[in-house]
Amino acid sequence: MIAVDTNILVYAQRMESPWHKAADRCLTELAEGQAPWAIPWPCLHEFLAIVSNPGIWRPPTPMALAREQVESWMQSPSLVLLGAGRGHWAALQRSLRGRKMVGGAVHDARIAALCMEHNVSVLWTADRDFARFQELTVANPLRR
């Protein structure tokens, strides 16, 4: 199962992004496909925070439109939303072990832990920081 990181979601929604078309194409293929695909809940939270932030976008996406975008993704019958379950603490500990995981890196560790907990085969992201999680396969679908 493919999971999608926040940056791909943001690029797909923000048309002024140079990666908009590629990200939108990738998400459309997943959403319209038969294979299960996933979005970690923290990535949806972060998506809403980023696209509606006036310090990042001029103009920012109105929250109503951002929520509509999330609703649109949720209409995909093959979407799986990844949340913390009983195995999350063990997966998070594995993500944090042996690395300098402090500050904002803890958020990435949480995403990696959710992916590992739910047996995600690959995380689609444009964030190279995820390469530090050796247990997680990452790929940038925008480089196709």
Segment 54-105, tens digit of pLDDT = 999 999 999 999 999 999 999 999 999 999 999 999 999 988 886 677 888 8
**CA distances for 26 relative to 23, 67, 144, angstroms:** 5, 20, 10
Higher pLDDT, 106 or 40: 40
Question: pLDDT by residue (tens digit) across 18-38?
Answer: 999 999 999 999 999 999 999
pLDDT tens track for 116-132? 999 999 999 999 999 98
The Cα–Cα gap between 5 and 138 comes to 10
* Residue 122 bridge partners (DSSP): 2
Q: Determine the angle formed by the axes of helices 6-13 and 63-74, rounding to 10 degrees.
A: 110
Domains of the chain: 2-143 (3.40.50.1010)
CB 40 within 8 A of CB 112: no
Q: Give CA–CA dist 83/134, Å, rounded.
A: 21
Say if residues 139 and 8 touch (Cβ distance below 8 Å).
no
Query: What is the average pLDDT across 103-113?
Result: 91
